[in-house]
Amino acid sequence: MTESNEQTEPTLYLIPTPIGNLEDMTLRSLRLLQSVDALACEDTRHTRKIYERHELKSPPIIFSCHAHNEDRAVGRILSLLRDGKSVGLTSDAGAPGVSDPGQRAAAAAIESGYRVEALPGPSAVITALSVSGLPMASFTFLGFLPRRPGRQRKVFNAFAETPSALVLFESPFRIAKILKIARECLGNRSTAVCLELTKKFENIHRGSLDDLIEHFEDRKVKGEVTIVISPADRDGDHIEQDPNIPDILP
């Protein structure tokens, strides 16, 4: 009895990779990394670390697929699929296509009539939501916001009355700035700033936007940043700090 129909027809597999801890790979992902005919990676050096950590045998064809060569890489993926090959695709961390290369390859494969399978796995968005302790019956993922403050305000204002949590990625150098704009547009909501999720120096800072602005005002931060902001209530009022949620962690 087989576990799936893998490799019975040309298929593009979207394989999530760890957002930090290299042990966060599913058994199916590890098996596919060894069994696909070819693998497209956002950064081949990054993906090779997974092969080395788990002592995997790499496929015969490995090539890059990133923001600067995506058109050419998508063409190569389609060519491999036409030849009856199975192709895996990984980004540097998390799920391909979610604020990372992969969406264009998936869309092109689907349009050309090929099978596309997305594997479940590591996600900075879901991990941050879970660890935030904030209400999350529904959420809106904003990805990386525009660089200009005016456009950032437009995004926050568009979701100001939405009764769902907001999740976004941000540069470690702009945390205080983006929190100030969020405070201006959304009110003093409960928020979690998640640093280096699943990595050795993971740190979760929880509190009101006012508290977090003060905390990050003159603080230098490194690494990956995911921010979760609590939703507006159903009447459009802003949810203030929940007394059951711990204050800022050291």
Domains of the chain: 11-118 (3.40.1010.10), 124-229 (3.30.950.10)
How confident is the model at residue 244, as a pLDDT? 47
The ranges of the chain with pLDDT < 50 are 1-2, 5, 235-250
How confident is the model at residue 3, as a pLDDT? 52
**Tokens in use for 24?**
């966060």
Q: Which residues contact 244 (CB under 8 A, 6 or more apart)?
A: 133
How confident is the model at residue 8, as a pLDDT? 75
How confident is the model at residue 239, as a pLDDT? 42
Q: Which residues contact 147 (CB under 8 A, 6 or more apart)?
A: none
Q: 172-189 burial by CB neighbour count: b if 16+ within 10 A, else e?
A: eebbbbbbbbbbebbebb
How confident is the model at residue 40, as a pLDDT? 97
How confident is the model at residue 6, as a pLDDT? 58
pTM of the predicted model, to two decimals? 0.85
How confident is the model at residue 1, as a pLDDT? 34
Alpha helices in 13-168 (DSSP H): 27-35, 44-54, 70-82, 103-111, 124-132, 149-158
Instruction: Give, in degrees to the nearest 5, the angle at Cα 64 between 60 and 68.
Output: 165
How confident is the model at residue 234, as a pLDDT? 52
